[in-house]
Structures are given as C-alpha cells and as structure tokens.
Structure 1
C-alpha cells in the first residue's frame, strides 16, 4: 500500500489517505476501461477474462506456429503436428469461448443502452463494429502497403519475402468475422433469453449434438458449419445469463463438471484431444466447432465463474488493475498484430543461423523464449503506434430510420464475409484466387474490399437517408472494376468465373439494398405527411 509523502506509515491518517488515493485511482482506471469497452459500471472479472483470453490466444499461436528457414525461404509447420504430446496446451490456450462469454454480457448492456436512449439498430451495430473494424482497416492497409513494397523490392533485388509467414498474417480475423455475426444478432438472441432463459442453452446443446451425429454418420462436412453459429451463440447466451445473475455458484459447478466430464468422454471417443487443427487431420475440433469444443467452452465458463470472487480480490490491487486496463485499451491491436509481428520476426531471425530444434525438447522451449522476447518487444512497439485507432471516441449514433438500418444490416454481412475471406486466404499473395468451402473462389483483395465497403456503409448510415443510399450505391460500384479485372485477367490476374459470380452477387445485393432504402425513405416521408 502506498503512503502519502511526508507522513509516517502505520497511522490512521496515512491509511485513510492511501485508501483515498487508491480509490480515486481505481475510479479513474474504471472510467478508462469503460471508455474502451463500453460497459459501466465495471465488472473487473470480465475485463480480466477479456484481456486474459486474448493474451492466451496470442501465446498459443506463437507456440503452435513454428516458422523456420529452409530452401531459401520461411517455412511453416505446426508444433502440435511435430509433437502430438503437446495437446494439453490446447485445453489451456484455446480460450476464445471466454471472449464470446464476455461479449454476451457487453452486447446485452450495449443493446439495452441503445433502446433506453431511443436509438435504433444501426446505432447499435455501428458502436459494436466500430472498435473492431477501425483497427482492422489499419492492419489491412499495412498489409497492402507491405505487399507493394515487397513487389517493388523484388523488381530490383532478388530477395525472399515472408514466405509461409504471409499465410498467417490475417488468419486470426476468422474470429472477428464470427463475432460480428453473433453480436449483430443480439436483439434476437436476447429476446430468446428473456423468454426462455436456460432452455435456449439446452436446445443449443441438442442442436450441436444432432449436427455432429449427422456429420459423423454421413461424412457431410458442410453440415457441420451450422455449428459455427450454434456453438458461439450458445457461449454468448451464457453471457446473458451471467448478466442476469442466473449463473451463480451452483450453475457454474454444474457447467464445470458436466462440461469437463463430457470433454473427457468425447475426446476418448471419436474426437481428437487437441482443440486446434493440424494439417492432415480428418476431424478438427475448432473449425467448424464440434461437440468436444462445446464441452470445453462450457467447462471454461463454469470454472471462470467459480474463480470470480478470488480473481476480484486480486484485481483490487491497483497495479494489477492498471495492467488489466492497459491491456483492454489495446486489446484489438494486440490480437490483430500478433501474427504479422511473428511473421516479421521469423523473416529476421530464421535465416540468422539461430538453432531451430524440433519440439518438444528443452532446447526447443529455450529457443521459444528467444522468439517470444523478440516478438513481444516488436508487438509492444507496434501497439504503441496503432493502438490509438481503437481508442477513439465512439461514432455519432446513426438515426433510427430504415435506410440506416438497411445499410447497417448490409454492413454486417459484408464485414463477416470480408473478415472470413481474408482469414481463409494468403495475405502474402493478395491477388491469388483461393477456393473455399469447395465451391467459392475468393481473393484477399476482394475480401478487403468487402471490409472497406462495410465501413463505408456505417459511415453513410450515420449521416442520414441520402448518405445511406449513396454509400450502398458506391459500394455496389466498388466491386465492378474488381470483377471485370478478374474476368479478363488484367495485369496477369487469374481469370475466374466463380470469383466474377461472387463479385456480381455482392454488387447486385448492394444495389438491391439501395433500392430498398430508397423505397423505405419514401414510405417514411409519406407517413410523416399524413400526420
């Protein structure tokens, strides 16, 4: 405990002064965290879960993604593939479910605040997506600039680029794509929660099991993608229950015991024990999520809630709380940039002659310490530069009008497609066409345009009916030159009729949304005239 300067320690006056100082500091830190997360008053336990879950994911990625130098370039292998015995680490570091759990709490509060202020769905979507998309746009622009510089260098000097490191640059964005979708459904899923409570969880668990049974019995992998929404929506619903104080000690014990027991049984059966996929695996727990991952998620939430009181006592320490607040103020920047930072570190360290032993021996762990130190220092420097883009003031609320709502809904769809698209392709080759889900052709540049147009639509939604319609039309036009370029193979692009079809559907969809926004605005004016 700190002591007021000039006073002896141990007296009542000094204790009172120190307590007052800590109280003021704690309230200031609470206000700072509230500005970053949008939830107030603070539940420090949830802030710890939010920040801690992202840090755990970063550490897990840096452990699993093993980048090395071979054949004059950076190569990639999975440490889990080389050392299957490391699978218990995935039960510790695969904590994305906790982020969705906290998201359920925060999104509920945000939606209730929007409705209390008389704002509409567009304002809610804009507030929830702004802090995600703003720093993401900075990352995408940096990747585009980096690729341009690399192309320029290669035109004059023969030098290897990031190699396989380019493939991991934007992989973490898959999580944001799913989160955007789940958060956007908050008004609907919260209504389900208010009406049925725990029964929603039971139905979701039943659906997860049914989908997996069909998948395992028929071999139809595409069926399993239904669980993307069901599983992450289920964990999000648990956040609602916690907010309503319906997830106390007894339910938490039940979740921890049943989830942990189910996890042990399922991984002893048809599911792999590791929660992270490895190239060559026939069944992957993470994508699409399986019943085993669902059991892990349920158990993690239960254990976390049981630890809440002890963690809150620890979080009363000013230094600890300061670290948690600082972490949450830059949480998106840390998450977005941790893989690009590792790719750059690999390009610098891998060809330097630094030993690269095979996992999981002591020498491998020792070298990981060197990699972690280098990546951590570089990540801290990057976050200092780009962190301000996620700490800006929230946007002006969009009007509660149907053109704004249409623009916001369209923005959600495009953001989800764009984020999943860049995560599933190689950002090191932005114009290369990749086939996803067996049928759809996607290029990173097209996915990036989706994210850019999504931000444009939110900007238009804030500025009234005409701007909302104009942003939809501008977005439709933005896809046309990209589609034409791939249709005729401009500049050596690989012609792709499938990609042209995707771009055409997106452009037509935006145009249809603009027409719908125009019609709804005319209807609104007619009703006002009648009044």
Structure 2
C-alpha cells in the first residue's frame, strides 16, 4: 500500500491542480451517497416500487443541500473543458479532434451499461419478476444518465462557454421561471433550463480555468449571494426546500432545474472556490492525494454503477424471510434512516465490486506489466 501511495504521488504531473480532482471526488461522493439515502426500493405485494424518505419526512429536506452536488460537477467540467481546449489549440489540434477525444472518454464506460442491464432485465423477466418491477429497476439505473447527455452537450459548447458570461444563462433561467410560475406560461418552457441552468456553473468553471476567478472575494460573493437568493426563493418565492426530486411533489427543483437550483449551485461554486486553497494544502500529503486520485480514475464507473450496487444488495436482502428494514421497508421513520445508514457499507462494498468488474471500460485495458497509476502521467483532470 505504501508503495502504491508513493507511486501515485511520483507519477502525478507537477502542474496538476489537485484541488480540482478533489472537488470532482467530493461531487461524485455527494451524488452517490445522496442517491443511496433518498431512494428506497419498497417491496409491496410482490412488486418493487421506489419511494423517497423526503416525502414522508420533509424535515429531512435540508440534507439534500449537502448531497446535491451537480453544480460542482459542471464547475469542474467547465474548468477542465476550457483548459483542455486551450491546451489542444496550443498544440495545433483541431476542435473536432479535441471533442472526439473527450466524447470517446465519456462514452466508452457508458456503452457497457445498457448491454449489462438488457441481460439483467431478460434474466429477471425469465425468472418470474413482474414487468413493473423490472421497469422500476431499469429506470433507476438509467435516470441519472441525463446528466451525461447535458455534460456532453456543454462540453461540445466549450468554445462558446469560455467566452460567455454566466449572467446570460442565469438571466435566461430567471426569465423562464418568471414566465412559467409568474405569468402562467407553458410547463415545457422549463426544459430550456436544462441547458441554461447547468451552463451557469459550466461558464463559471470555464472562467476559473482561464484564471478569471479567484477564490477570495469572488468565492465569498458567489457563496453568500447564492445562499441569500436561494433562501429568498424558498422562503418567499414558493420553491421547494429539497434540492432533489421528490416523488409526488408539485414542483421539482431538478426536473427541470429551477432558479432556486441555479442560485443554490452558484453558492456551491463559491464554496468550491473557497475550498480550493485548503484542499491544495491537504493534498500535498501523499495518502490524501492517493485516495482522491484513485476515485478520479474510476469516477465515471462509480457514477454509472452506484445504483446497480444498491439494487444488488437490496436483491440479496430478498433472501430473508421478511422485508429487511432499510432495504425493503417504507421510508417513513427515523428507524428507516438509521437502518439505511447501517447499509451504506454494504452498498460501498458492492460498488467496489462493480468498479473492479467494469472499471477497465473507463481507463482502457492496461498492457501487461503496466499499472493503472500510469494514467496519471497522461490523463488530465
């Protein structure tokens, strides 16, 4: 283990901004743990359905502020996109070649997910599982993939995003919400915010990557301004407290993104800028950096397979004679929350198995005699 830690530290390029990798790792962790905590698979008369503890226990909604970290993903994506595109141009690479490389890295680990889950669905149906149960499980796995479609579109728009001021997409989101909620406009207008809403943190990340944002004053302005705006929108604007979707709720802050979700994301971006300096200091320690580096090497695999890991543990729990608390029971009490927390290590273990099985599709097959840590020599954040 010590040799691995030293090797990771040794092969890391000197100019790599380790804080950006740490922010990506934190964002991945937030999404994974958040999904594991707010998604319950309830066994109901032989059929599996999803339920959210946030619906029966709305007092837990503020916890979603900790685990809804999508804005940090897009912030880091804008940073890496802007710097990667600028570096490609400096080396004489065309936009097409640069984008093709980015899309290949993004799509390679995704391609195996539908293949595996088509086989899983067939096996489940053949073994007697109900069509509705299979539909629920497949939807649970596929639903987070919307993020990758939006991320790919924004990556393709990096040359534009690098020149676009974040206030423009922010104004578009505000206008859409004004028309939808204030003037009774059509609900479909909200889907404009899928692009405009996430373009705000992506543009902030691009500006950060170009050196246009600093962690001090700018970070505080974004954090405090975004937090104050979010509090006002929740307190007086009628927006939901939860920053994740809650089944049965009249308004979702994420599907599509609302102005409250965007202001909340702005606050997260400010916090990320403020954390960058302390993170750089912490990550000088080889052990801390090794953990972050290993998470980043499998970040896409973790994102793609974390729901499968939860489903696998839940399915194994069906071997018990009765519904298992925290796995198959209705999430309507603090007892369920405590039971679900106790299951998190099992979910993590199942996820590690998935990473071991499917991680090769993210970083490619290594040549015999070479180690995956060698990717750190060539793979940019």
TM-score (norm 2): 0.87
Q: Specify the alignment match of 1:202 in structure 2.
A: 167
Is 1:145 the counterpart of 2:113 in the alignment?
no
> What is the aligned counterpart of 1:82 among 50, 56, 63?
56
Provide, for residues 448-481 of structure 1, a one-character-per-residue CA deviation record: whole Å limited to 9, x for no partner. xxxxxxxxxxxxxxxxxxxxxxxxxxxxxxxxxx
Q: Max radius of gyration: which structure?
A: 1
Provide, for residues 415-436 of structure 1, a one-character-per-residue CA deviation record: whole Å limited to 9, x for no partner. xxxxxxxxxxxxxxxxxxxxxx
Shift of 1:361: 4.1
Count of residue correspondences: 358
Q: Specify the alignment match of 1:223 in structure 2.
A: 189
Q: In 1, distance between residues paired with 2:265 and 2:89?
A: 30
Q: Is the 8 A contact 2:167 2:200 kept in 1?
A: no
Shift of 1:53: 0.2
Q: In 2, distance between residues paired with 1:151 and 1:391?
A: 33
- Bigger shift: 349-358 or 297-306? 349-358
Query: How do residues 46-57 of structure 1 correspond to structure 2 at under 5 angstroms?
Result: 46-57=20-31
| Change in CA separation of 1:219 and 1:348 when aligned onto 2, cut-off 3 Å | farther
> What is the aligned counterpart of 1:342 among 310, 313, 334?
310
Higher relative contact order (CA 8 A, sep 6+): 2
> What is the aligned counterpart of 2:78 among 104, 125, 138?
104
Q: Specify the alignment match of 1:409 in structure 2.
A: none
Provide, for residues 507-526 of structure 1, a one-character-per-residue CA deviation record: whole Å limited to 9, x for no partner. xxxxxxxxxxxxxxxxxxxx
Provide, for residues 27-79 of structure 1, a one-character-per-residue CA deviation record: whole Å limited to 9, x for no partner. 32x25xxxxxxxx8311111011111011101000111111222113221111
Q: CA RMSD in A?
A: 2.5
| Change in CA separation of 1:121 and 1:85 when aligned onto 2, cut-off 3 Å | same
Q: In 1, distance between residues paired with 2:252 and 2:34?
A: 17
Q: Specify the alignment match of 1:255 in structure 2.
A: 222
Shift of 1:346: 1.8
Q: Specify the alignment match of 2:110 in structure 1.
A: 136
Shift of 1:225: 1.2
Provide, for residues 194-245 of structure 1, a one-character-per-residue CA deviation record: whole Å limited to 9, x for no partner. xxxxxx1222222221111001122411111111111111111101221222
| Change in CA separation of 1:162 and 1:344 when aligned onto 2, cut-off 3 Å | farther
> What is the aligned counterpart of 2:257 among 289, 292, 295?
289
Is 1:41 the counterpart of 2:6 in the alignment?
no
Q: In 1, distance between residues paired with 2:203 and 2:133?
A: 44
Query: How do residues 148-227 of structure 1 correspond to structure 2 at under 5 angstroms?
Result: 148-154=122-128, 162=134, 164-190=136-162, 192-193=163-164, 200-216=165-181, 217-227=183-193
> What is the aligned counterpart of 2:245 among 273, 277, 286?
277
Q: In 1, distance between residues paired with 2:166 and 2:97?
A: 28
Q: In 2, distance between residues paired with 1:158 and 1:183?
A: 39
Q: Specify the alignment match of 1:26 in structure 2.
A: 9
Q: In 1, distance between residues paired with 2:67 and 2:26?
A: 10
Q: In 2, distance between residues paired with 1:159 and 1:287?
A: 25
